[in-house]
Amino acid sequence: MNGSNLTPWGAMADAVNDGCEDAADAASTNISDADVNGPSPVLQQQITPEMVASGYQPGMSTQQITIGNEGKGPKVPMIFAAVFLAIGILAIAISGIAGSALEETLDGIETGPYTTDLLPEEALIHTDDDNAGETGWYMLIPGDPKADGDSNGIPDACDDLGQLNITDSDGDDIGERVATIDCAKAWDYYDIEDHVVVGVICSTIKDQDNGASSLNRCEIGEEIYVSNSNNVSMKVVDLDAMLIPVLGEIVGEGALMGTSFFAGCCSICGALIALIVGLLRFGGNKEPTVQYNIN
């Protein structure tokens, strides 16, 4: 048999098969490289993050995108400069107020309630309850601290004092150890009037600023007798009793004044640096603006 189907249905099937083969042959003769490989790729501009940030949206029609590096402007440094300057001015103002308060506190100290007569037969007894040292006693004599008739740099009242004797209970001279006598020194007079500060007795607090030792060396409970050859009346001011009630105010106001002044100076320096940075950013080099036309 030749493989052909002699039935009517077989004849129809053979006709269909022959038609499909003919159509396939015709189609094969019309296939191009474009049909096989697809359309040629179109060269497109590479999309960068800067373009997207500038508003480019894929899929849209022709778009013009402008990209430019404008650089950092002076706005932020100028804001910092203004803030630092305001803080600095405020801090210095606070420092000035604290300084005025400290001056008022010192000016308000009264020596009268802590001043007593110093008689030759009565002893000064040194005490130091906290073992931190004592500021001691001012020793006063009547007179004008500015009166210096012979122009020797020493108040006339001290010239009239004569020989000053400072002894212990045994009569031994202890003046060089327990007292600092210097009429010409610029002592802090507080509200003292019509008297001259001759010196200080038992100032045993060390100088914390430069590490120097205390002015005097007095033993706890030591008795100190003071007299002079001309029998000039003398008085003493108990500096510890006078200063302790206001010590907290003095320390607090002094600390506030110093801290505020330091903070103010630092803030103003910061403002100056920020101002310089801001000024340098004016008219700085800028990268050229780039425009893209994207289809």
Q: What is the pLDDT of residues 137-192, one digit of tens each?
A: 999 999 999 998 888 889 999 988 889 999 999 999 999 999 999 998 989 898 99
Q: Is residue 4 part of a domain?
A: no
Burial group, residue 50, by CB count within 10 angstroms (0-12, 13-18, 19+): middle
Q: Is residue 42 part of a domain?
A: no
Please tell me the predicted confidence (pLDDT) of residue 208. Answer: 47
Q: Is residue 85 part of a domain?
A: no
The stretches of the chain forming alpha helices (DSSP H) are: 8-29, 33-37, 49-53, 75-107, 156-159, 175-178, 239-280
Please tell me the predicted confidence (pLDDT) of residue 114. Answer: 93
Q: Is residue 155 part of a domain?
A: yes
Rounded to 5 degrees, φ, ψ at 223 are -95, 130
Judged by DSSP in three states, 170 sits in: coil
Taking the C-alpha atoms of residue 117 and residue 268, their distance in angstroms, rounded to an integer, is 53
Residues 31-59 pLDDT 10s? 555 454 545 444 445 566 665 665 655 55
Q: Is residue 127 part of a domain?
A: yes
Please tell me the predicted confidence (pLDDT) of residue 66. Answer: 53
Q: Are strands 179-181 and 137-142 parallel, antiparallel or unpaired?
A: unpaired
**Could you tell me which residues come within 8 angstroms of residue 75 by beta carbon, excluding any fewer than 6 positions away?**
278
Domain hosting residue 183, numbered range: 112-242
Taking the C-alpha atoms of residue 94 and residue 99, their distance in angstroms, rounded to an integer, is 8
Q: Is residue 174 part of a domain?
A: yes
Taking the C-alpha atoms of residue 293 and residue 288, their distance in angstroms, rounded to an integer, is 17
Please tell me the predicted confidence (pLDDT) of residue 78. Answer: 85
Check if the beta carbon of residue 143 is closer than 8 Å to that of residue 240.
no
Residues of the chain with pLDDT under 50: 1, 4, 6-13, 15-16, 20, 23-24, 26-28, 34, 36, 38, 40-44, 208, 211
Adjacent-strand bridge partners of 224: 124
Q: Is residue 203 part of a domain?
A: yes
The number of domains in the chain is 1
Q: Is residue 61 part of a domain?
A: no
Q: Does the pTM of the predicted model rise above 0.75? A: no
Adjacent-strand bridge partners of 228: 164
Residue 284, CA distances (Å) to 69, 141, 280 in order = 11, 74, 7
Check if the beta carbon of residue 87 is closer than 8 Å to that of residue 80.
no
